Amino acid sequence: MKEILIYGPIGQATTARDVVRQFQEANGEDVLLRIHSEGGSVLDGEAILNAIRQYPGKVKAQIDGMAFSMAAVIALELRNELTMPEDGWIMFHEVRNYAGGTEEDLERQLDQMRAMNASITVRLADALNISEAEAAERLKKEIWMNGQEAYQAGLVLNLTPAQALAAHANPDVYMNAPREFFTPKETKTKQPTEMKLFKLFQNDKIEAPSLELAEIGPEDLGAELAEIHKSLDETVATHAAELVARDEKHAQAMQNALDEQRAEIEAAHAEALSAAENSAEEKANAIVAQAGHEPVEVLPSETETREERVRAEYAAINIAERGGVEKRRAFRKENKDIFGG
């Protein structure tokens, strides 16, 4: 038996051209038409219906999960040879059109929609053994049936076990979808869930820890998780403390290096200033000597003399010697009125 699928939107995922070609290739062999579609193009659907009616061989149909809109009309055509699972769904409603165009286009489309609705109403009234007026009214509100309801209404020849493909649809698109269609069924397990965890065992007598499988029940999980959380918290705290200590050590080392550089720059500046002042004094005395006068001694103020002396003493401390950096730091601290801070 050849299988032909009507899966996905009709006119897109499943086209009339493809289905008709498959019927031609079947060449009279028995065909099983499997349906799992939300519907789609009415025109493509009508072409598929014509291919079914003209096929010389036997055609059976099977709803695998859902048959909505035009897919439901195709299933309705084969209701005398139709099966569906108990948890499958079939849905009928009025024809919908989302096309545009000119005023004449819209009028022509409206006439087509009315003709299509009338055709579906007649087929549904005959299948459900109700009046066409009642069928038309029910189409406006949408007709939703699960497998059991469709079987009781005479739309399905036989039911299959509840193993349908998942039927899905946007609830905003439909008006009257039953709540249970969008609410998944709860599954109940008779046996309690078995839980297995890997536990790490450390032994002082072996170099590497061993990984063993430990089976625990729900009643033991609380203690196991508490121990795991405790161990994790301790590890995180230890790691954080190590990071803080490392950062503090790094910051202190950077500060010491900056202090040394600053001291060296200040010492070099003091030496350069002293050399410049001495040079200026020597030049002035040379000029005075040429004029036949005695050299003039420039006496700086007491504060300036002490500052020069202090800076000269500071520069004389050799930081390359052992303890040189500490000596300079202590010297700066003793003479903080000169160096500041």
**Three-class SS of residue 32?**
strand
Average pLDDT of every residue of the chain = 79
Q: Answer whether residue 185 shows pLDDT above 60.
A: no
In order of 124, 169, 266, 276, 311, the CA distances from 316 in angstroms are 112, 90, 13, 18, 8
Instruction: Give me the pLDDT at residue 233, please.
Output: 76
What is the predicted pLDDT for the residue at 295?
A: 62
The label of the residue with tokens 């002293």 reads: 274
Contact indicator for 66, 38 with CB cutoff of 8 Å: yes
**Cα 38 to chain centroid, rounded:** 28
Name which residue leads in pLDDT, 11 or 168: 11
Whether pLDDT at 302 is above 70: no
CA nearest 45: which of 37, 159, 313, 126?
37
* pLDDT score of 193 more than 50: no
Nearest alpha carbon to residue 32 among 58, 3, 7, 54? 3
Q: How far apart are CA 98 and CA 114, in angstroms?
A: 15
C-alpha–C-alpha distance, residues 325 and 259, integer Å: 9
Q: What is the DSSP letter of 81?
A: G
Which one-letter DSSP state was computed for residue 91?
A: E
pLDDT at position 12 over 80: yes
The rounded Cα 120 to chain-centroid distance in angstroms is 44
Residue 296 has pLDDT above 70, yes or no: no
68 contacts 45 by C-beta, under 8 angstroms? no
In angstroms, the CA 16 to CA 11 distance is 7
pTM: 0.52
pLDDT (tens digit, 9 = 90+) per residue, 259-284? 777 777 777 666 666 665 566 666 66
Determine the pLDDT at residue 266: 72
Where does the pLDDT of residue 218 fall: very low under 50, low under 70, confident under 90, or very high at 90 and above?
low
Question: Among residues 76, 234, 92, 269, which one has the least CA distance to residue 176?
Answer: 92
Identify the residue whose tokens are 């349906």: 35
Domains of the chain with bracketed CATH: 2-93+142-182 (3.90.226.10), 222-339 (no CATH)
